[in-house]
Amino acid sequence: MAFGYGIHFCLGAQPARTEAQIGLDGLLRRYPAFVGAYDSLEFKPTALLRGLKSLPLVVVRAPA
């Protein structure tokens, strides 16, 4: 994701990055391993942004 540059830089960029870091840290602590559950990847048909339509994963829960 992009937050712009220079005068057009998003004011919410730093809170969004902090929120993502906290969320991903908690997710990876609870589910330390991810395994891809796909045969092939399908991308969105766009000329500007390249992105996946979906990314199916199987998560492995940490031992209690």
pLDDT tens, position by position, for the chain (64 residues)? 566 777 778 888 889 899 999 998 998 888 888 888 989 999 988 877 778 899 898 887 766 6
Residue extents of the structural domains in the chain: 6-60
User: What pLDDT, on the 0 to 100 scale, is given for residue 31?
Assistant: 83
Closest alpha carbon to 54 in 64, 62, 46, 43: 43
User: What pLDDT, on the 0 to 100 scale, is given for residue 50?
Assistant: 79
Q: How far is it, in rounded angstroms, from Cα 5 to Cα 63?
A: 43
